[in-house]
Structure 1
Amino acid sequence: MDELDPRLLRYFVVVAEELSFSRAALRLHISQPPLSYAIKQLEDSLGARLLERTSRRVELTAAGRALYREAQFLLRRHVDVRKLVQRIDAGLHGQIKIGFVGSMLYRRLPEVLKLFQHHYPDIEHVLLELNSAEQIELVERGGLDLGFIHANPVAPPVRALDLVSEPFAICLPAGHPLASKRRLRLDQLAEDDFIFFSRSFSPYYYETLLSMCLQASFYPKVRNEARHWLSVASLVSQGLGVSIVPQCLSRSGMSGLRFLPFDHGHESVCSLIWSEQAASRIHARHIELVRQVYGLDAADSGRKKGGGPRRGGPDAGRLVPPRRPGS
């Protein structure tokens, strides 16, 4: 049997509902002879009589009644498939894989995700907590659509858009002798054990923390390293050392910690990354929503390798400074 023509099925359904070729032709806005020919084509294709026709009336045969039920389902399915394909083509359906570093939970990522889900409820947003290096590699390979990372240099085909910058803060256990201070000098911690962001996972951040200590005229005793900033803060809360962390972690609500400001010349920057090779309407629309949340305009199209400063969001209040190479 040949494939059923949706046009012929639609004609048949209207005839079956009207039980009149003349009324069905009026409803379909065609003349009666082409409608009669279309029904004959359908019957020939199926090898079955669907209608009993006399000069006075039209009735469905048993085969016709069965086809009427199935045709309604097939036509609805046909419309649904058409709409699905159109929505996917328009970027309104599908799946987006999103990587993020833990500190983004306190840098407006929940707000971004809610906006994604509000505008695109039919898109499945899959979240993966990964460090920055892992995200960059996955975006390069096409295994990740969007990534929210600690700012790192990227090379084509990866694009990056700096979202927000903020100061670092000293992170102390609540029971530390200096925890009651309102502000510290970093050299006041010269004799403490330090917990650093893992050098193997982010040489850039490790070197940033190290350079702060060297600028304060001491070499830190790094006793522990962790892969995520939240892990660094957790180790500090257990009294295993002190650290220097992005100020956003003060909003984590983690108990047993004190976050104190100190003088330094560095910024903690977070960025959005994506692959220019995988750019599509669905990606572009999500990137535009991210810009909206962080107060960036369309002129901020994303930097490639060695990009310049980018403006932070409303809660940043400062420009993102140039950074030295790292990974």
Structure 2
Amino acid sequence: MEFRHLRYFLVLAEELHFGRAARRLSISQPPLSLNIQQLEASVGARLFERDSRGVRLTAAGRAFRESATALLAQAEAARQLAREIEAGAVGRLRVGFVGSMLYRGMPQLLQDFEARFPGIQVALTELNSQEQIDALLHGELDAGFVHTNRVPDELVTVLAHREQFVCCMPAAHALTARDSVALTDLRGEPFVLFSRQASPDYYNRIFEMCVAQGFYPQVRHEVRHWLSVVSLVAQGMGVAVVPAALARSGMAGAAFRPLSDTDVPSEVYCVWRQHPDDPARDHFVDSVKLRMRLASHPEQP
């Protein structure tokens, strides 16, 4: 049994006339009769009564008509789904992110993406950078946002966000009286730092920023999430150097000031596994690239 047989059967079931059915199918009558005979042989039952009064569906034919209609509808739906997936118009994307992305434009990025591609469902998972890299390598994520571009060869990165670091300190700290703070002002202060295990690049970057100013930070606490860094600072447990976006966290008890003696940027990268191909993921990556390009050149459409 072939889908061609089903289509011929359904047209004949509507017309109940071999001549009219053949014209609708743009074939001659003998091939139509042959295909109906092949279908009946395959099914093992007579589907039509043929006599001098015309053509009629048998009881078996009436029952078969309902199933044949459903089968063809399912086949068409399957074809359409395959085309949409090939075009990247539908699908499900598993996207990892570091917590700071909540304040770095990720919600707006997702809103724009879902408006452009309503058939693609995005499922978010908050993980640190190393956890995302491991999940990508094991096929558990389709894309992610991490603090590093030092990734295994199987992965590809593109810059997704860049901003300055700022000083985060308790609201009652004496340095809040200043418009900006120098890193050297933090010499001897207890530091709250993002965990070296969770994101070694970020840990090293902040550490090296301090070393470049002539001192080693006194790391008192290490945590795995940026909001935990800000929360500990807000509770008077130290100072921190954090991405500027964290100032939008609204954490009571924490104050933020620009750093006056360093221009080292805080960066986040979109990362994905280049193979296998995934058109929906590629649309997502293109959206990240477009957003970064518009942020760099806002005058361009």
TM-score by length of 1: 0.83
Distance 2:289 2:191 in 1: 36
2:282 alignment partner in structure 1: 284
Please say if residues 96 and 124 of structure 2, whose CA atoms lie closer than 8 Å, have aligned partners that are also in contact: yes
How far the C-alpha of 1:217 sits from its partner, in A, is 4.0
Please say if residues 50 and 64 of structure 1, whose CA atoms lie closer than 8 Å, have aligned partners that are also in contact: yes
Structure 1 residues 1-327: aligned runs within 5 Å:
4-263=1-260, 264-295=262-293, 313=296
Please say if residues 8 and 36 of structure 2, whose CA atoms lie closer than 8 Å, have aligned partners that are also in contact: yes
**1 or 2, which has the higher helix percentage?**
2
Distance 1:313 1:104 in 2: 18
Please say if residues 147 and 201 of structure 2, whose CA atoms lie closer than 8 Å, have aligned partners that are also in contact: no
Distance 2:177 2:277 in 1: 50
How much is the aligned-residue C-alpha RMSD, in angstroms?
2.1
5+ long unaligned stretches in structure 1: 297-311, 316-327
1:92 counterpart SS class: coil
Q: What are the Cα deviations for residues 54-78 of structure 1, in whole angstroms up to 9, with x where unaligned?
A: 2232221111111111111111011
Distance 1:294 1:252 in 2: 22
Count, aligned residues: 297
Moved over 6 A (4+): none
Matched AA of 2:292: Y
Please say if residues 157 and 276 of structure 1, whose CA atoms lie closer than 8 Å, have aligned partners that are also in contact: yes
Distance 2:93 2:123 in 1: 6
How far the C-alpha of 1:234 sits from its partner, in A, is 1.6
Distance 2:178 2:141 in 1: 43
Please say if residues 171 and 259 of structure 1, whose CA atoms lie closer than 8 Å, have aligned partners that are also in contact: yes
Distance 1:180 1:104 in 2: 29
Distance 2:149 2:32 in 1: 66
Please say if residues 164 and 313 of structure 1, whose CA atoms lie closer than 8 Å, have aligned partners that are also in contact: no
Distance 1:57 1:238 in 2: 90
Matched AA of 2:235: Q
